[in-house]
Structures are given as structure tokens and as C-alpha cells.
A and B are shown apart, each in its own frame.
Chain A
Amino acid sequence: AQKVTQTQTSISVMEKTTVTMDCVYETRDSSYFLFWYKQTASGEIVFLIRQDSYKKENATEGHYSLNFQKPKSSIGLIITATQIEDSAVYFCAMRIASSSFSKLVFGQGTSLSVVP
């Protein structure tokens, strides 16, 4: 069974700084996809970025980037030049690459507060 763990419950950072959120995952599958979503104060769930397990290069998307360390089963999210509006709960999630199964398994979430 798959499992995703986010140990950081909450983080507070100053605006315009860089923050890293940790995520480790467990799976026996050799091929999988890793996602980061954020949930805003209104409850909206927003897709941020995806990493494919077979790719060595870290994914980047705007001011989001990933630190993918496959041997450690780790997929950290890096947000550079943080803004107030980045304040949200960030969820790491995993899906195995199978045509039969498609569920996303989520971590517990990390609450990020960006302060001026």
C-alpha cells in the first residue's frame, strides 16, 4: 500500500524568502507520479506541480520547484520569493502508474504562513 508522510505541521516564513516543505512516500511500485497541491483558505484545491518517478530532473513550475531524491523516497517542494498569497495548506500526493488504479494518496498537509 502507498503512504505519504508530511511531518511539518506548520511553517511560518517572511515574505520574499524561500521555503522548503518536506514529503516522504512509500510504495513498492517502480513507476509513480508525485504531486503537490495547495488548499487555500476558501477550501479550493489548486494543482501546483508534478514529478514523474522515471525522470531524474527536478520539475519546476514558476516559483515552485521540487527536490526529488528517489533513493530517499523524498519529494520536497521549494517555493522561492514567497508572497503573502502563498499562505495555504500544502499537500503532497502520490499516484502509482497503473492503468487499473488511479487514486491519489495524500499526505497530512503542511500549513504555510507567509508574513510581511
Chain B
Amino acid sequence: GPKVLQIPSHQIIDMGQMVTLNCDPVSNHLYFYWYKQILGQQMEFLVNFYNGKVMEKSKLFKDQFSVERPDGSYFTLKIQPTALEDSAVYFCASSLQLGALREYFGPGTRLTVL
């Protein structure tokens, strides 16, 4: 079936550094999402993105976070600067439409901030 890819699978960085998480969504999908999962907890919505714009974001989507998808390439989540509490698994997802249709999730990027 359709696959969402995420690069890298694991990233270790020092607090204060910048990190970019990359997502290659399903090719014909139009809506893109990032979710954050702290170890042992549920996934929490960060942001969704459509037509080059952030449609909705949660309180977890701090000012240090940004997303973009330049020219149909990777959908990226950038954190600058990183903080210790940013350590988590970040899941990218994509969908063709809003609402009823399921989101396809990537395998996640485990971010460790030291």
C-alpha cells in the first residue's frame, strides 16, 4: 500500500542546535501532519499543512517549530533551537482529503536532545 517515508530514523543532537526532520508523503496526498509521541504516551497532534500553509497547530507547536514543503519535495519539521523536552518520536502523516479518510503514517523519527 501507500507508504510515507521519514528520514532519518534516529537523530541525536545537543540542546540548542537546529534539527530538520524529513518526510516523504504519499505522492498524490494533499494534507500533511506532524504528531509527537513521548515514550510510552499517546501521539499528540502538532500541526497540519495544506497548499503551502499551516492550517491548524496545537499548543505543542512552539515558536521554535516550523514546517514547509518547498516545491513538492520533502515535508519538513524544523526545530530551532531544540530543547530537552523536544526528545520524542515524531510521526509524519499524509492524507488525500480531510475528514473520513485515514491518514497514512510514516515510521517515525526518534529525536534525542542531549
Q: A residues within 8 Å of B by Cβ? A: 33, 35, 37, 42-45, 47, 50, 52, 91, 95, 97-109
B100 near A97 with CB under 8 A, answer yes
- Complexed CA–CA distance, A52 and B101 (Å): 11
Shortest CB-to-CB span from A60 to chain B, Å, is 16
Residues of chain B within 8 A of A52, CB atoms compared: 100
How many residue pairs link A and B with beta carbons under 8 A? The number is 60
Of A42, A45, A91, A97, most buried by chain B (CB within 10 Å of CB) is A45
B48 to chain A: which residues have CB within 8 Å? 102-103
Bound-state CA distance A47–B55 (Å) is 23
List B86-100 residues whose CB lies under 8 Å from chain A.
89, 91, 95, 98-100
Instruction: Please give, as numbers and ranges, the residues of chain B lying within 8 Å of A91 by CB-CB distance.
Output: 42-43
Task: Give the interface centre of A104, A107, A108 by most chain B CB atoms within 10 Å.
Answer: A104
CA distance A109 to B44 in the complex (A): 12
Closest approach, in angstroms, between the C-beta of A99 and any C-beta of chain B?
6
Residues of A within 8 A of B42 (CB): 91, 106-109
B56 at the interface (CB under 8 A from A): yes
> Which chain A residues lie closer than 8 Å to B102 at the CB level?
35, 47, 50
Contact B98 A102 (CB under 8 A): yes
Q: Which residues from chain B contact A109 at a C-beta distance below 8 Å?
A: 41-42
What is the CA–CA distance of A97 and B98 in the complex, to the nearest angstrom? 8
A104 close to B103 (CB less than 8 A): yes
A–B Cβ pairs within 8 angstroms, 29 of them: A33-B99, A33-B100, A35-B102, A43-B107, A44-B105, A45-B43, A45-B108, A47-B102, A47-B103, A50-B100, A50-B102, A52-B100, A97-B99, A97-B100, A98-B98, A101-B55, A102-B31, A102-B48, A102-B56, A102-B98, A102-B99, A103-B33, A103-B48, A103-B58, A104-B35, A104-B103, A105-B45, A106-B44, A109-B42
Give the residues in chain A near B33, CB-CB below 8 Å.
102-104
